[in-house]
């Protein structure tokens, strides 16, 4: 009897143990344990980080830095508000055509956005100011917030001639603010304008910055003493903005006095000059411009007569002229000048003459 009870108890314990093991295998693992044991993976959003960085820079006024961030974001993001923000940066940096493109994309994607009317007005002004008529996504050219007929857009330089002024120089080129609606929506025309704008901004002799090199020739005559002369040489110029250029000259200059070679004076020698030039562009793309410049030259000339005397001459000059640019960087310049040579052993005189220069931008 006792043996039977022990056997029964052993059997019951084994059955309970087997049931517990089966139940444990059938029960799914704890979610809490699984999550606790899983690695902590963080998925970063490069586009989102770039957008945040761009808007932070934009708020600080760093529009160039913001553009870099927005460009990076748009490699993977399709958020139309990034185009809006990038367009605002282009507008602040006086890049009208990229701003137009971004504003159009934003308004096409979100035409009823809370700020759509403001962006539409900005687009309309840019289209009108850059010869696109203002009749596309930006609305009509007579919409609100238009610039007055005598005002200049943000992308204008202080020496620009206003194309809306009836007294401005006539030109067959499409000019800013012309409001020519026939060009609105014409993709080929707009593409051509974009290309010409880029060409103008890349040229140091038009709207851009950079260096240009050239050769010049001068001819002049004195107000007294029958003095005549000529000069020739090379010039290296550096444009520091759409208006201003600093440049240097090196060459040869010669003075003649008296009509008789045997008794008259002949002097010639090295000339070095440093000057400043201001460009007054006559059209939107600055392919034609008026030039106002001042030059101070140092001249070391030697007489060709028997005494071979050496003279040090300082020659301040002022010139006013016209320049035409062929393509992106070939210029032809014609100017008149007034000079007042001052030097040891020379009489003070005033000379009047002209210069012709050929320039190449690079």
| pLDDT single digits (tens) 218-238 | 999 987 767 889 999 999 999
Q: Tell whether 59 is covered by a domain.
A: no
Instruction: Please tell me whether residues 94 and 169 are part of one structural domain.
Output: yes
Instruction: Please tell me whether residues 220 and 137 are part of one structural domain.
Output: no
Instruction: Please tell me whether residues 93 and 114 are part of one structural domain.
Output: yes
What CATH number has the domain bearing residue 339? Answer: 2.40.128.100
Please say if the pLDDT value at position 352 is more than 90. yes
DSSP three-state, residue 309: coil
pLDDT score for 177: 37
Instruction: Please tell me whether residues 175 and 216 are part of one structural domain.
Output: no
What residues make up the domain containing 301? 210-361
Q: Using the 3D structure, point to which of 176, 202, 228 is the last residue of a domain.
A: 202
Measuring CA to CA, which residue among 104, 129, 138, 119 is closest to residue 180? 129
User: How confident is the model over 39-51, as pLDDT tens digits?
Assistant: 555 456 788 899 9
Please tell me the least confidently modeled range out of 125-134, 141-150, 157-166, 325-334. 141-150
Check residues 253 and 21 and name the one with the higher pLDDT: 253
Q: Tell whether 306 is covered by a domain.
A: yes
pLDDT score for 344: 52
Q: Using the 3D structure, point to which of 144, 174, 202 is the last residue of a domain.
A: 202
Instruction: Please tell me whether residues 179 and 220 are part of one structural domain.
Output: no
Query: Do 311 and 343 form a contact (C-beta atoms < 8 A)?
Result: yes
Q: Tell whether 47 is covered by a domain.
A: no
Q: Tell whether 262 is covered by a domain.
A: yes
Q: Tell whether 1 is covered by a domain.
A: no
Q: What angle do CA 183, 189, 195 make, to 5 degrees?
A: 135
Query: Do 139 and 118 form a contact (C-beta atoms < 8 A)?
Result: no
User: How confident is the model over 28-84, as pLDDT tens digits?
Assistant: 444 444 444 545 554 567 888 999 999 999 999 999 999 999 999 998 888 999 999
Q: Using the 3D structure, point to which of 155, 183, 202 is the last residue of a domain.
A: 202
Instruction: Please tell me whether residues 217 and 354 are part of one structural domain.
Output: yes
Q: Tell whether 230 is covered by a domain.
A: yes
Structural domains counted in the chain: 2
Instruction: Please tell me whether residues 314 and 178 are part of one structural domain.
Output: no
Partners of 217 in the β-ladder? 232, 356
Instruction: Please tell me whether residues 137 and 259 are part of one structural domain.
Output: no
């Amino acid at each position: 009897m006792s043996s039977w009870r022990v056997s029964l108890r052993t059997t019951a314990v084994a059955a309970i143990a087997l049931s517990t093991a089966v139940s444990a295998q059938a029960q799914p693992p704890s979610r809490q344990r699984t999550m606790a044991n899983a690695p902590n993976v963080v998925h970063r959003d490069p586009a989102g980080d770039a957008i945040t960085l761009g808007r932070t820079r934009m708020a600080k006024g760093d529009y160039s830095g913001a553009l870099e961030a927005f460009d990076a974001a748009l490699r993977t993001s399709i958020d139309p508000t990034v185009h809006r923000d990038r367009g605002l940066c282009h507008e602040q940096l006086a890049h009208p055509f990229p701003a137009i493109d971004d504003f159009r994309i934003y308004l096409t994607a979100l035409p009823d956005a809370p700020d759509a009317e403001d962006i539409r007005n900005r687009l309309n002004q840019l289209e009108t100011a850059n010869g696109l008529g203002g009749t596309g996504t930006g609305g009509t050219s007579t919409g609100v917030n238009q610039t007055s007929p005598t005002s200049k857009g943000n992308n204008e330089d202080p020496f620009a001639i206003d194309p809306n002024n009836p007294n401005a120089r006539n030109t067959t080129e499409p000019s800013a603010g012309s409001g020519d609606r026939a060009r609105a929506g014409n993709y080929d025309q707009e593409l051509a304008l974009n290309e010409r704008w880029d060409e103008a901004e890349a040229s140091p002799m038009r709207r851009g910055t950079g260096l240009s090199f050239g050769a010049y020739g001068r001819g002049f005559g004195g107000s007294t003493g029958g003095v005549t002369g000529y000069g020739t040489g090379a010039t290296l110029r550096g444009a520091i903005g759409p208006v201003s250029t600093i440049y240097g000259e090196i060459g040869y200059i010669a003075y003649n006095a008296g009509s008789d070679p045997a008794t008259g004076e002949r002097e010639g020698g090295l000339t070095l000059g440093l000057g400043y030039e201001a460009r007054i562009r006559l059209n939107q793309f600055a392919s034609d411009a008026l030039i106002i410049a001042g030059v101070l030259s140092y001249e070391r000339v030697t007489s060709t007569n028997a005494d071979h005397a050496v003279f040090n001459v300082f020659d301040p000059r002022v010139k006013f002229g016209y320049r035409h640019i062929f393509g992106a960087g070939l210029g032809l310049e014609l100017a008149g000048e007034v000079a007042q040579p001052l030097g040891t052993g020379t009489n003070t005189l005033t000379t009047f003459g002209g210069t012709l220069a050929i320039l190449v931008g690079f």
